[in-house]
Structures are given as structure tokens and as C-alpha cells.
Structure 1
């Protein structure tokens, strides 16, 4: 989940959420075949783009790992170009325990807040930074990236596209989930999709983050697999006859743009009531939360709430406020 934290403050407890999907056995895939652990790369004879589908940037978001495990066992290969399936935070995933599933989001720090040049080239050390630095040369070869994520708090699934139009277009082409949100990310650090490799408007490289649903639900796995299959088809890389999930009758995707990211500044942030991600607040200037003495109000009519996080501490994102783009 992109709006929360993997380390819970001592004064609060995370929600108790059942794990309704089996933990995938990644032992056959840990070594990879690319020279980098956890990365499997398959090249077709016909040239084309390099598409990477990544999972477990957060070690407890096992639905994405389930999809990649399925594809590897099924022998999915690209019709053209190169397909890579990437298990990102292997060390955090190795600590996943269904009895305490929120504890292994990361080991030392959130791996999806590290993807800026200063951090990656700096002197700070952590398990997640070591892995990010190991992955960076691989990412430099990628043209299209679909990063699979899931959510702890109840919310409509969505695609996060960063700030570039090219990423928004990629999200709309995927169309699963059917909401594409352009946003500037988090104050606490840059996501993998925000790295300059993908955010540079002068290049065609593009990346999207797919928030497919609640962490440990079969419907989330199914939605992720459909999104990944549509990425493969969009890139013209689907192999005729391969058994991928069927589209069915999909709704037309919508776009929205974040107008304000609410970052908690006090130790006493609280929403006025329980809000659900995807909820639309009809009127401008509606009070939705208090951050200490500061009132958090909707900046415009028909304000879309993106992934509100009811348990959040200072310096982290509590909610993003967005406006639909017609």
C-alpha cells in the first residue's frame, strides 16, 4: 500500500486482516536467470520493447508474487521483445508470516521511497537500498514497467501514473483497474515508477503502479493477472495460443489528477469519519480531517479520495485528494 508505513508506532496496532491466499513458494525463482537474484528475463527472436512486471516491492504484498509465480510455472514467453518478471524485495518477503502479515512490508525502510539519484548514489545503507542499487542497472534496460501492488485499507483499485502524460496513456491502455490517477508521489521519497528513467518526458520509457485491491484476497490476484496480461498485449508481446486471462466486458477507464497530497505534520492526525478510497466528496471546503489544529478540507467539488490511511504517523501520506479529468 503506497500510503502507509511498514513500521507501526508502539501506541497503535494495525488492523487484523485475514490472509485468504496461499503464500507462493518462490524457492525455484530466487536465483533468477539474468545474473541478478529474483529476475527472470526472456527474449524473443523478434525485436521489440523490454517489458518488466515487478512484484513484492513491499514484502508482504504477496498477490503480485503469486501472479509472477503462475507465469513462470506456465512458461509464459513474449512473442517479440523481452519480458522480465521481477521479484523485488526478496529479503522482506522471506520474513512474511500469515500470522503477522503487516510486519514484513520492509526490513529497514520503505523500498518504494528510495528511487532518486541522491539516495541511490548516497552513503546511506540499508537492506532495501542495497537491493535497489543492485536492481538499477537492470531497470536501465527497461522500456515499460508495470509494478504490482496491493492495499491494506479498503479502497477502489487504481493505477498510479506519476506526473507524465506518457504514463497516464499507458495506464489508460491497460485499463485494469479502470481508474488512472496522475500524482506527484510522496514527500517521503520517490517510488520506482518516479525514477528519472521513467519520469523523463524526453524519453518514451513509461511506468505505472497498479494498486489492484486488498492485500490478501483472490480477487486482487485475479485483477493483477489481468492487468499484467493487458500490459503484455498492449506491448504487442502476447504469444498466440498462450493461456492468459480473458478480458471480458471491461468498463471504460477514467482519469483523475491529484490536486493535493496530505502529509501528516502532527502526532494527532485523525479523519472525521471512516472514509473509503474512491469515495467522492461532493462539495468544496468539506472538512474531512484534523492534523493537530490544522483543518483538512476538500479543495474542490467532487473531490476524489485516493487511498485514505486511517492509521498514519507524521511525515507519511494520509490521503491524496484528486479531481476527475473529463
Structure 2
């Protein structure tokens, strides 16, 4: 059964950013006039994940500008966010389909016509121009925050420099389709483009708003895009000198085969199971066990239904 959580965050009014200045609604870019990378931060890839929108709203209101290269802020699936209702906060994840699964050229170039595909086609030239991207998300449980990269060496190196939050998870999302961070320009080992995805904690927990801003500041610190004073005034004291983040490899994913899927315990995510062969779930008549020692359980889902992604399994790197 899906769990419910209190909504402790207040969704910002993003309507003032609709026009933007790029010709794409809800995308605003600033050019320093000094050579440097095009750095971008995304919010609202999922319309009910509002912590990133809160962070971008704050940065835009502060008038943050780049000191080199370009800096862009994008409110991505604004159509889904427009349906956000704190009384029913789960209902606005997307309009027709998951925006973070459509980044496959065959679909972007194909004849299908959904709200999310149309928006992806609008945004595609923008993403093609971005060198360094942070995509801000949140989670369905009170899991510890985590950074996700597809796993290329350039991504691992950049994520290690960002070094926030405390977990860096590398590898496939074990999903159908592709996430923005796996869109071809970012997932090319021959270039220097990098896209990272941060999960800031439970969707509407007050702490996720803080983690969104802290992660954005550590990301901007590494890019060198803004004056250090921007980072100093926005970074929370507890996030100023984080310990070295642990890096994990996503080794597998579990998808429900039946409508009768039950976890062995009420996992929230980031639990580490010491021994291989430990039962962690039951799917109909099948018992699911950990495939290796020290197996981290990432992003458990309590949504029911055949084909639902239930969990990712991870092994520590190094």
C-alpha cells in the first residue's frame, strides 16, 4: 500500500518565469560574456517534486548571474506542476507519461504526441546546448538524499568533486526509456558534457528544500559559474564542509512481476544488508534475496502493480 506523507513545503509561484528569455517557456538564461561552460539547473522534471522549484525561485529572486559562461534555470514539466495540489500531492507527477523516460531519439523524432513528448521536443535544443546540468528530484520515502549519475568516468569524477549529498549512485536506472541525464549528448564518453540527478529526500519534507539548495550550491561551486559569495550566502552551515561521499554502483533492479509484491521489512532506502541471500521481498510465490554481501537498497517503491519498479540494488565502489 502506498504511504502518505505530510506536505511541509509550499510550492512557489513560477508564473513570473513563464516567458523566460530564451524563446522556450519557463527557461531563463544569463550570459556572462566571458568564456566558460553553459551551466544549467532543472526543476520540476516531475511536477510533484517541488523542492527544486523552491531553490530556483530563490536564486532567480536573488538575481544570481554567472561570472563566466552561461547560467540557465529551467522549470521543466510546468504542465504537470500546474496541477499540483497539496491535498493530493501524488497526482501531479506527470500529465500523460513520465517526462524522465522519453529521452530516446526514436521517440523524440517519432510521430507520438503526448504532453511530455511535446515539451521534451521544445527543450531539446536547450539541452543540446548545456555542458553541465543538475536535475533536481525528490523521493517517495524518507530516504537519505543521494546523487545519481549514469556511470561514465567523466560523471563519476564530476560527482566526486560536487561531493554532496553523502551518497553517489552510479549506473543504469533499470528503467524503460532514458532519463534526461542519459540523453545522448550527456551520455557520450567522447565529450565533456555531464548531467547529474539529485534526489533530495522525501518529496515534501522541509529538509528536501534545504538539500536542493545545498546541492545546487555545491554543483555551482565546482562549475565556477557564480561568485563564491552566492554560495556562501545560500549554503547551510551543516553542508559547508561535507565528508567524502560514498560511491556505489547500481548492480540490478527489481520490477514487480505480480500484483502481490511485499517487502520483507518497511524499507525507506539506503539500508545496507550485510549478507548475500538475505530475503528482502516476496513477489507472488517468489522470494527475492540480496545478490551479494553489503547490498544497499536504493529507492524502494510502495506503488503496487505488475511492471512497477520496486527497488535498485547497489554495491560499494572501492
Which secondary structure state, in structure 2, belongs to the residue aligned with residue 308 of structure 1?
A: coil
Describe the superposition over 1:206-246 as per-residue Cα deviations: whole angstroms up to 9, x where unpaired.
Answer: 11100011111221111111111111110111214333325
2:20 is matched with which residue? 32
1:44 is matched with which residue? 32
Report the CA distance between 1:15 and its aligned residue.
2.6
**Correspondent of 1:53 among 41, 61, 68:** 41
**Correspondent of 2:306 among 288, 297, 314:** 314
1:192 is matched with which residue? 180
Report the CA distance between 1:315 and its aligned residue.
1.9
Contact preservation (8 Å) 1:120, 1:133: yes
Contact preservation (8 Å) 2:174, 2:252: no
Describe the superposition over 1:62-98 as per-residue Cα deviations: whole angstroms up to 9, x where unpaired.
Answer: 1100000000000011110011001000100000001
Matched, 1:295 2:287: yes
Which secondary structure state, in structure 1, belongs to the residue aligned with residue 185 of structure 2?
A: helix
1:248 is matched with which residue? 240
Report the CA distance between 1:187 and its aligned residue.
2.9
Matches within 5 A, 1:181-260: 181-242=169-230, 243-246=233-236, 247-260=239-252
Contact preservation (8 Å) 1:161, 1:208: yes
Describe the superposition over 1:173-200 as per-residue Cα deviations: whole angstroms up to 9, x where unpaired.
Answer: 1111111001212332211101111111
Q: Which structure carries more helix by proportion?
A: 2
Matches within 5 A, 1:7-18: 14-18=2-6
Matched, 1:73 2:64: no
| CA distance, structure 1, for counterparts of residue 304 and residue 153 of structure 2 | 30
Contact preservation (8 Å) 1:81, 1:237: yes
Deviates more, 1:245-254 or 1:84-93: 245-254
Deviates more, 1:132-141 or 1:244-253: 244-253
Matched, 1:153 2:141: yes
| CA distance, structure 2, for counterparts of residue 126 and residue 45 of structure 1 | 37
Which secondary structure state, in structure 2, belongs to the residue aligned with residue 108 of structure 1?
A: coil
| CA distance, structure 1, for counterparts of residue 243 and residue 220 of structure 2 | 19
Describe the superposition over 1:148-188 as per-residue Cα deviations: whole angstroms up to 9, x where unpaired.
Answer: 00112121110011131211222111111111001212332
Unaligned runs of 5+ in 1: 1-11
Matched, 1:169 2:157: yes
**Correspondent of 1:131 among 119, 123, 128:** 119
Name the TM-score, length of structure 1 as normaliser: 0.93
